Amino acid sequence: MVADKLKAAGQPRIYCPLIALVFLFLPLVLTQNAFYLSLYFMVFMFAGLSGAWNIIGGFGGQLSLGHSSFYGLGSYTCSLLFVKYGVPPLLGLLACTGLSVILAFIIGYPCFRLKGPFFTLATIAIGEVLLLLAVYFRGLTAGSEGLSIPFRPSVLNLCFNSKRPYAVEAFCFMLFALVVSIWVKKSRLGYQLVALRDEDQAAESLGVNTSRAKMMGLIISGGLTALGGGIFAQYVLFLEPHSEFSLTASINLALTSMVGGLGTIIGPAIGSFLLVPIQEFLRVWLGGSFQGLYFVIYGALLILVVMFLPRGILDFFSGPYHTLLARLPVFGGPSRSDELGRPFASSARLGRVEAIGQPEPLPIIEAESLSKRFGGLQAVTDLSFSVNPGEIFGIIGPNGAGKTTLFNMLSGVYRQDSGNVKFKGKNLAGIRKSHLVCRLGIGRTFQLVKPFENITVLENVMVGAFCRQPKRSEASKSAPKILDFVGMLDKKNALGNTLTLADKKRLELARALATEPEVLLLDEVMAGLTSYEIGEAVELIKKIRNHGITVLVVEHVMQAIMSLSDRVMVLAEGRKIMEGSPFEVSRDPRVIEAYLGDGYEAA
Amino acid sequence: MILLQLIINGLLLGGIYALISIGLTLIFGVVRVINFAHGELLMLSMYITYFSYTLLGLNPYLSLLIGIPLMFLVGMAIDQLIVRPLREAPAYMQVFATVGLSIVLLNLALFLFSGDYQSIHLAFAEKTLHFGILTLSYAKLIIFFSSILVSIVLYFLLRYTSMGKQIRAIAQDRMAAKLVGINLNRIYMLTFGIGTALVGIAGALILPVYYVFPSVGVYFVLTAFVVVVLGGMGNMVGALLGGFIIGITDSLSGYYIAPSLKEVIAFIIFLIVLLIRPSGLMGIVGAEEMGMK
């Protein structure tokens, strides 16, 4: 294990960043200039703070414009404990992170169940509220007059005689934020955050508890920010509500990440290396009278970056950087190539059902008089059916027949108005969250494909695999097997948004398979495909069934569903018209009528 | 009796909030963009009114004749220059862009007009109406009735004109609206213009009773966000109702708790709404959990 780690250090992708860090650190030791040292302090602190912001804002795409509430909470907690109770700030930092967890719950719990801009609004508002409270409770915080922290240099107090130790401290803070970012990004949480940022509903259907993932992201992000606030306060030694809880500072963190590269690990640091010096030099050169003008430029920069550089400046450099990495020598011999394990077909655990061909199978899905109404539209009416294990169950019907609504009820996206669904005899009525349904063993795909666009095919599948395997090492082993099974292994490094429609649909299937479902709901996986691709899809679905997975197929491509299904159910206007073998269904006058309208037979 | 006076004060204040929020919620409902620069647009219209009073000697109520068309154009320009290129971008990109615009406008005002508080004195605006021991300011009464009038006009505009029908169609379902041949871009632009013109009206009407300074918008826009969420995002009747509720809450909590904590109370209401009924008073239940179209 240790030998492996040492070997990894010989890789250019490991040693290059380490060399870069050493070069960043060197000036701290070499320079004597107090201005530069304080500049380094600012740059590194900001790099760490926007790195912290980036965990929820970048990875998770949850735009916070109130991170100064965490920052201010940290700085006030740490400093007040010191000033009022003599608790050394180094220990006070623990209290900072503790309180920030509570704050994260207050913001996150109401907002993260919802979609849309609520979280952003709530973060702004809570920043403002904490500002008002800090001004109001004068007795505690000294209000607008500001709180002075006594100058007592010691490591325990995080307070030093010269600028150099401060700069080193900030460097360590930045390193810590980087390490946390890397850890989050490579963990299950990181994959889940990126997945829910790209496609919330799809992530949920793959077993991702999106509310929980966002909450974890906010806790980590807020905790780090509070830590930064606590450290920064011992540098300034003076706190004032309007500067601690400033909206501008919150926006600044977001802007820094954005300029560097949103959702990347070093993007925020890069943004900070660029923006903080510009800011500091402009402040020195322009002086106070041009403050307003400076911020005008700043705001304009924000707009321009969003419009013309949405991926940040890192995007320019990542290409050449990777070419450079490829050319640099590898020390200590090549590392283990990530080979596939055994071929998939023989022993793999695709589904978790082995019970095919039992004498009298109990239905795996049993729906009893399901109904669902949207406003004035009765989408599904009194629908009952059952599906046997290992069956391919086709569902057809004209547009608006309620097929997708039915799938949404089965997968926990909607709750039925009345009726019951049983899965392996267990009632699904109390389970409304689709990630829980997925964990029980019902996977699904979406009619409108929802691949996670900004991560690779392999990572897409890993998001699904994390449903059963919390560890990244296991998920990254099982995902290629699934890709091999669906015949996409050669595209594993392609990004989700570069795929053709057929491949996107196949990827959806692979992702759903990775969650090891017992029942798979396929919503028009063949719509829009060529007849050759349809043929492939039919073979794949049969192959999936042969692994013991029960498949429910909603489809319009008639010849495919007829050749595929064991039984077919026909819906029209939310009601079941009939159910039977494909042959029976294709001959039934009611079906023909539903599709082609009254009077067709006569004509 | 003091309670009655407080409630009346709250209703009058609520008129201001409602007037500001209606534009915000209209833009959100149709263009699906939260305009974080909305407060700065309020500030802009207050300065327009201020300068047309001090430089041209125009009465604030008359200056609406300049202010409304001007703000309408400003709104359309913002839509075309900043929002349009980001229509298909993720929502957070649009937020960034409007936040950027808000920073630019605020600091440009700071740079051009300095941070000083400015106000105008109208003899009329300082008059009050007395009912027994109740006092009502004329200027605030005008705001109150204007907010109701504006809502009614807007209602009929949306209900009966072709443009209004197109706007409502888009608010309900973008894709379907596009399929029946509605020019989405044109309607977005017009909606942004109307929403901005509405905040323009608000700015002109409140100048006689408030100070204008570069960051005045920040104060109002935070309350407007609460109002919009309380009323149901995108719902105009909700914004009117929410405005009055928050106005009364502000007035009561300012008196019974502490003036400087009234925003805290508003925020607590905001959180409670998110917890209990995130769709707001008038919104469609469940819409926010599904992610609106």
At B116 the pLDDT is 86
pLDDT band for position B43 (cuts 50, 70, 90): very high
- Measured between CA atoms, the residue of chain B closest to residue A62 is B92
- Measured between CA atoms, the residue of chain A closest to residue B93 is A306
Q: Do B278 and A200 touch (CB under 8 A)?
A: no
At B218 the pLDDT is 86
Q: Do A115 and B270 touch (CB under 8 A)?
A: no
Q: Do B89 and A292 touch (CB under 8 A)?
A: no
Distance (Å) from the C-alpha of residue B78 to the closest C-alpha of chain A?
Answer: 12
pTM of the model: 0.87
The answer to whether residues A243 and A367 belong to one domain is: no
The answer to whether residue A254 sits within a structural domain is no
At A338 the pLDDT is 45
The answer to whether residues A193 and A44 belong to one domain is: yes
Q: Do A114 and B274 touch (CB under 8 A)?
A: yes
Q: Where are the alpha helices (DSSP H) in B79-213?
A: 91-113, 123-126, 138-160, 162-172, 174-179, 184-206
CA–CA dist B102, A468 (Å, integer): 46
Q: Do A63 and B92 touch (CB under 8 A)?
A: yes
pLDDT at A38 over 80: yes
Contacts of A307 in chain B (CB under 8 A): 82, 85-86, 97
Domain that holds residue A581: 361-596
Residue range B54-82: mean pLDDT, rounded? 92
**pLDDT tens for residues A557-572?**
888 888 889 999 988 8
* DSSP letter (8 states) at residue A150: P
CA–CA dist B126, B128 (Å, integer): 6
pLDDT at B83 over 60: yes
Residue from the list A121, A125, A303 with its beta carbon closest to the beta carbon of B97: A303
pLDDT at A457 over 80: yes
Q: Do B270 and A136 touch (CB under 8 A)?
A: no
Higher pLDDT, A171 or A335: A171
**pLDDT tens for residues B107-143?**
899 888 888 888 888 777 777 777 777 778 888 888 8
Q: Do B110 and A254 touch (CB under 8 A)?
A: no
- Report the first-to-last Cα separation within chain A, whole angstroms: 77
Exposed, middle or buried: residue B276 (CB in 10 Å: 0-12, 13-18, 19+)?
Answer: exposed
**pLDDT tens for residues A150-202?**
888 888 888 888 888 899 999 999 999 999 999 999 999 999 999 998 888 88
At A1 the pLDDT is 56
Residue from the list B103, B260, B271 with its beta carbon closest to the beta carbon of A295: B103
The answer to whether residue A556 sits within a structural domain is yes
Q: Are residues A481 and A488 in contact, defined by beta-carbon separation less than 8 angstroms?
A: no
At A5 the pLDDT is 65
Sign of CA dihedral A120, A121, A125, A128: positive
Q: Do A111 and B274 touch (CB under 8 A)?
A: yes
**pLDDT tens for residues B201-252?**
999 998 988 889 998 998 888 889 899 989 888 888 888 999 999 999 999 9
**pLDDT tens for residues A184-197?**
999 999 999 999 98
Higher pLDDT, A338 or A316: A316
Highest averaged pLDDT of the listed ranges A6-10, A220-224, A591-595: A220-224
Helix (H) or strand (E) holding A421: strand A418-423
The answer to whether residue A6 sits within a structural domain is no
Residue from the list B85, B95, B111 with its beta carbon closest to the beta carbon of A120: B95
Contacts of A295 in chain B (CB under 8 A): 103, 106-107, 110
The answer to whether residues A411 and A536 belong to one domain is: yes
Contacts of A254 in chain B (CB under 8 A): 96, 99
Contacts of B97 in chain A (CB under 8 A): 302-303, 306-307
Percent of chain B with pLDDT over 90: 31
pLDDT band for position A499 (cuts 50, 70, 90): confident
CB atoms within 10 A of CB A586: 13
pLDDT at A58 over 70: yes
The answer to whether residue A288 sits within a structural domain is no
At A3 the pLDDT is 65
pLDDT at A600 over 80: no
Highest averaged pLDDT of the listed ranges A91-95, A319-323, A399-403: A91-95
Higher pLDDT, A332 or A256: A256
Residue range A322-347: mean pLDDT, rounded? 58
Contacts of A293 in chain B (CB under 8 A): 107, 111
CA–CA dist A176, A182 (Å, integer): 10
At A418 the pLDDT is 86
Residue from the list B110, B264, B288 with its beta carbon closest to the beta carbon of A292: B110
Contacts of A65 in chain B (CB under 8 A): 95, 99
pLDDT at A295 over 90: no
The answer to whether residue A253 sits within a structural domain is no
Q: Do B263 and A132 touch (CB under 8 A)?
A: yes
When mean pLDDT is compared across A41-45, A491-495, B161-165, B288-292, the lowest value belongs to B288-292
Residue from the list B258, B263, B274 with its beta carbon closest to the beta carbon of A110: B274
Could you tell me the maximum CA-CA distance found in chain B, to the nearest angstrom?
A: 59
pLDDT at A24 over 80: yes
**pLDDT tens for residues B248-280?**
999 998 888 888 888 888 888 888 888 888 777
The answer to whether residue A534 sits within a structural domain is yes
pLDDT band for position A292 (cuts 50, 70, 90): low
pLDDT at A78 over 80: yes
At A347 the pLDDT is 37
Number of domains in chain A: 2
The answer to whether residues A366 and A230 belong to one domain is: no
pLDDT band for position B284 (cuts 50, 70, 90): low
Q: Do A303 and B218 touch (CB under 8 A)?
A: no
Residue from the list A125, A132, A254 with its beta carbon closest to the beta carbon of B260: A132
DSSP characters over A198-262:
H-HHHHHHTT--HHHHHHHHHHHHHHHHHHHHHHHHHHH-EE-HHHHT-HHHHHHHHHHHHHH-T
pLDDT at A356 over 50: no
Residue from the list B111, B229, B274 with its beta carbon closest to the beta carbon of A296: B111
Residue from the list B99, B275, B288 with its beta carbon closest to the beta carbon of A116: B288
At A524 the pLDDT is 87
At A180 the pLDDT is 96
What is the pLDDT of chain A when averaged over all its residues? 85
Higher pLDDT, A269 or A453: A269
Residue range A27-41: mean pLDDT, rounded? 85
Q: Most B CBs within 10 Å: which of A296, A309, A433, as the mutation test of the B interface?
A: A296
pLDDT band for position A4 (cuts 50, 70, 90): low
Distance (Å) from the C-alpha of residue B63 to the closest C-alpha of chain A?
Answer: 28
At B167 the pLDDT is 86
Higher pLDDT, B50 or B292: B50
CB atoms within 10 A of CB B67: 25
Distance (Å) from the C-alpha of residue B163 to the closest C-alpha of chain A?
Answer: 26
CA–CA dist A253, A53 (Å, integer): 7
- Measured between CA atoms, the residue of chain A closest to residue B28 is A117
Q: Most A CBs within 10 Å: which of B96, B179, B273, as the mutation test of the A interface?
A: B96
CATH fold of B2-290, please? ABC transporter involved in vitamin B12 uptake, BtuC (1.10.3470)
DSSP characters over A497-536:
GGS-HHHHHHHHHHHHHHT--SEEEEESTTTT--HHHHHH
The answer to whether residue A10 sits within a structural domain is no
The answer to whether residue A338 sits within a structural domain is no
What is the pLDDT of chain B when averaged over all its residues? 86
- Measured between CA atoms, the residue of chain B closest to residue A133 is B261
Burial per residue of B7-41, b for 16 or more beta-carbon CB atoms within 10 angstroms, e otherwise: bbbbbbbbbbbbbbbbbbbbbbbbbbbbbbbbbbb
CA–CA dist A297, A312 (Å, integer): 18
Q: Do A116 and B91 touch (CB under 8 A)?
A: yes
Residue range B181-203: mean pLDDT, rounded? 92
Residue from the list B105, B222, B291 with its beta carbon closest to the beta carbon of A128: B222
At A42 the pLDDT is 92
Residue range A267-281: mean pLDDT, rounded? 88
Contacts of A200 in chain B (CB under 8 A): 291
Contacts of B229 in chain A (CB under 8 A): 118, 121
Residue from the list A133, A299, A307 with its beta carbon closest to the beta carbon of B86: A307
Q: Do B34 and A298 touch (CB under 8 A)?
A: no
Residue from the list B101, B106, B260 with its beta carbon closest to the beta carbon of A136: B260
- Measured between CA atoms, the residue of chain B closest to residue A201 is B290
Q: Do B278 and A118 touch (CB under 8 A)?
A: yes
Residue A157 CA neighbour count, 13 Å, CB half: 17
At B292 the pLDDT is 37
When mean pLDDT is compared across A26-30, A71-75, A273-277, A421-425, the lowest value belongs to A26-30
- Measured between CA atoms, the residue of chain A closest to residue B263 is A129
Which phi and psi angles does A127 have, rounded to 5°?
-60, -45
At B227 the pLDDT is 92
Helix (H) or strand (E) holding A47: helix A34-54
pLDDT band for position A342 (cuts 50, 70, 90): very low
At B197 the pLDDT is 95
At A355 the pLDDT is 44
Q: Do A307 and B258 touch (CB under 8 A)?
A: no
Q: Do B85 and A307 touch (CB under 8 A)?
A: yes
- Read off the amino acid at residue A85: Y
At B74 the pLDDT is 96
Which phi and psi angles does A71 have, rounded to 5°?
-60, -50
Q: Most A CBs within 10 Å: which of B233, B260, B263, B271, as the mutation test of the A interface?
A: B271
**pLDDT tens for residues A215-263?**
999 999 999 999 999 999 999 999 999 888 988 889 889 888 988 988 8
3-state class (DSSP) for residue B134: strand
Percent of chain A with pLDDT over 90: 28
CA-to-CA separations, A543 to A80, A536, A547, A549, A551, in angstroms, rounded: 65, 11, 7, 9, 11
Which phi and psi angles does A378 have, rounded to 5°?
-85, 100
Distance (Å) from the C-alpha of residue A113 to the closest C-alpha of chain B?
Answer: 7
Strand partners, A572: A575
Residue range A537-561: mean pLDDT, rounded? 88
